[in-house]
Structure 1
């Protein structure tokens, strides 16, 4: 009787031991020799481009429509922005590839911020891209590094453009009228006030000229915002991998045994209760 119990215990121990070894071997084989260290929070710089003097990029799309019997051409002004965030463990190579794509597609770097020490660097670019090259460069850029997020936003700016033009025409008419008033003579105080008003309108026209200049078809661009963050790779020694695999296996195995023990106990209590109910 004792020999039979010992044999059962020995077989059970052998099965459990083999299971532990198999689980340990699996975990050790999946342990990576390299690990990526997280970027320190103090290196993650948030850029507020809204506070910087960055040129707005707009483009034009022509639509041919028919009004009645007469064909017409309608120009749509729009803003198109691609926002791409990527991480890289080969930062220098990916940065060079990024700049090469900008050059190949006749892009213009309008904003650049690069910071951080080796292993924890980040690069943020705002790129103006000719509209005809936007889709092509976007497909190339999403191949750089490991993409964390990407999106394309398109906004219609036709009404804003028309409002700026209408405001400019209105100010030009007012300026012409004020200049005509100067020829009629009057008191010095009135003349000075008139000159001040003309100067104020000139300043407003200059500001409008800058805004309308962004819509100029000769300088049309779409925008690509690309953020590249470096991930430092650290080598893990064989001893560290064995220790990590053993601790993980031990923890997982104990949890598995507790679950099985709970299931067995619950099953035993259930069967015992059913047997008692049958006897009663």
Structure 2
């Protein structure tokens, strides 16, 4: 027969053991989840911090029913921007570098931006590739076979309204320029003539800027964009179960001790507080009796 003390100790102890086991199992499971989370948050977004990167736009014919419902100025095509972003890690950097370039050439793509830096063992390659819309999906599939893919995404944005707004601004500026040119031809004071000349030059400058923006929508320049980033590094080897157990055990002991310390000091503080409250009550009773 176990003594009452041993029974109480076992009842209390098994709660501590259960808590330790739960924390240990939690850390083991977390060890399997963390690598995938790290892969999804791998280095990417290199192109986000770059300004003035070439924008590629493409056209897509609308169905006859949609054309009938659309505004006349919309014509019969939709303007859109389609961008794929792929981040890869390569154990054979030079080979994969040649592969992406050869595939780009095979699909008649254009490297519109390139950034390569770093020393051997830690090199990086960032390419912005323009691909014809009809070859975009096939090229994207081939790019995903290069190295170890860490992240990938495809985004398609409708740019039809933006295209229409640019054309509307262009038409408005051309009308204004025509009106100013007519006023200029009528003559007048020198000050007014100079002011009109400056205004016409300003409008001409805006028209040139609009021409550059509209040029990106030109059918001859139609591309979709693939942003490809590749980082040099060997593929990570799997972690053995014994190593996971070792790490989980060390982590559990550390944080379980911290947790017990917090519970101990919280209990001690509550006990002291209750003693003080009880002491104050006794003092009040004594004073009341006096």
Q: With structure 2 as the length reference, what TM-score do the two structures score?
A: 0.63
CA distance in 1 between partners of 2:48 and 2:244 (Å): 49
1:122–1:228 contact (8 Å) kept in structure 2: yes
Matched ranges for 1:96-245 at <5 A:
96-232=98-234
Gaps of 5+ in 2: 1-42, 251-290
Q: CA 1:249 to 1:89, structure 2 compared with 1: closer, same or farther past 3 Å? A: closer
Gaps of 5+ in 1: 1-43, 237-243, 256-280
Q: CA 1:45 to 1:137, structure 2 compared with 1: closer, same or farther past 3 Å? A: closer
Q: Which has the higher helix share?
A: 2
1:120–1:232 contact (8 Å) kept in structure 2: no
Q: CA 1:249 to 1:226, structure 2 compared with 1: closer, same or farther past 3 Å? A: closer
Structure 1 residue 101, shift from structure 2 partner: 0.6
Match of 2:54 in 1: 55
CA distance in 2 between partners of 1:138 and 1:146 (Å): 15
Matched ranges for 1:81-92 at <5 A:
81-92=83-94
| Partner deviation per Cα, 1:181-202 (whole Å, 9 max, x = no partner) | 1111111000000000000000
Over the residues paired in the alignment, what is the CA RMSD in angstroms? 3.0
Give the count of matched residue pairs: 200
Match of 1:64 in 2: 63
CA distance in 2 between partners of 1:62 and 1:187 (Å): 53
Q: CA 1:193 to 1:96, structure 2 compared with 1: closer, same or farther past 3 Å? A: same
Moved over 6 A (4+): none
